[in-house]
Structure 1
């Protein structure tokens, strides 16, 4: 299957992408991983991306599209892939369609993870990270530490990252609504969108997603 995963920040796209890719035996291709791989390997596209990022500028669509194209042409993606964070806007979605059409392929589904905005803010703004070890993450509501402000694992101080503040989260949501959400309508016009609720436990959302994708295939 060739799937695009969409949803607002805090919808759990990265978590669900990993589970779904494993269940479907296809590679999980995320924008973050593409950028890190190209920059660390010093590819031409990676050098271009780094130059824009170092200057504090957005990486142009053609660079991101080029990285995605290179990744989708690798052997492990021959039988499908799950795209996470790409396409990010309608221009990238159109470029992806052209790319696939050239190869005689098309998308099977666009999985839209739906989460109420207040829940997104609650999920992200409630995160607390250990100053000693960033892998130690807690949540004031869903997984609070035994002692407020203290990491259960190592006793380090817990803090809220700047990009997890409510103000920053709401700004990120505005960007999502303006830039990324329009691709849902773009794909709806092609009959590709499958929308599921991303509320509940991780495994419940994964089961919901698998059922929706398999039902879409059967249809």
Structure 2
């Protein structure tokens, strides 16, 4: 299976991505993890990403596209993958679509974890309090939600029109959400 998971900050993407990948026997591919591994490994790409991040800038789409394409070309991703954190904008959607088309592949589904933004804001504020994250204040969290909504809405529309979107209620216990995801994906198979 070739999958994407989309969800607002705090929706549980990372937690669910791990479970989905294990369930379907595919690697979970997180751009954040890829960046950190390349930096730690001292690769050319890692050096480039580290310099960008050290300057406090976002990694440009072209660099992110290269890193993802390189990762999807790895042997363990030959039979499928779950992308978490990519694509984040329409440019990256186009880059991913082009890569997959060139490889004779296509996505099977895009899981969209649906959670009310107000609930997520409360959840993230509680997490910040528990974990002592001073930078996760209400203003910062609301800004992240706003950016997510403005950047992701076009992606959701794109995948809905392509017939790939699988909306899943992301509210509830981790196991309940996981079971909903598996049921929705299995129904598509």
Counterparts of residues 185-204 of structure 1 (less than 5 Å) = 185-204=157-176
Count the aligned residue pairs.
Answer: 189
The runs of at least 4 consecutive aligned structure 1 residues that moved more than 6 Å come to none
Q: What per-residue deviation string (whole Å, max 9, x for no partner) do you get for residues 104-136 of structure 1? A: 00000000000001110111101156xxxxxxx
Aligned to 1:155: none
Q: What per-residue deviation string (whole Å, max 9, x for no partner) do you get for residues 60-86 of structure 1? A: 001011111111111111100000000
Aligned to 1:28: 28
Larger helix percent? 2
Given the two structures, how large is their TM-score scaled by the length of structure 2? Answer: 0.96
Hey, what's the Cα distance between the residues in 1 that align with 2:126 and 2:116?
15
Aligned to 1:175: 147
Hey, what's the Cα distance between the residues in 2 that align with 1:69 and 1:171?
30
Does structure 2 retain, via aligned residues, the 8 Å contact 1:39–1:46? yes
Does structure 2 retain, via aligned residues, the 8 Å contact 1:163–1:169? no
Aligned to 2:88: 88
Aligned to 1:100: 100
RMSD (CA atoms): 1.2
Unaligned runs of 5+ in 2: none
Hey, what's the Cα distance between the residues in 1 that align with 2:184 and 2:75?
27
Aligned to 1:79: 79
Residue 164 of structure 1 and its aligned partner are, at CA, apart by: 2.4
Choose from 129, 134, 139 the match for 1:162.
Answer: 134
Aligned to 1:215: 187
Hey, what's the Cα distance between the residues in 1 that align with 2:95 and 2:134?
34
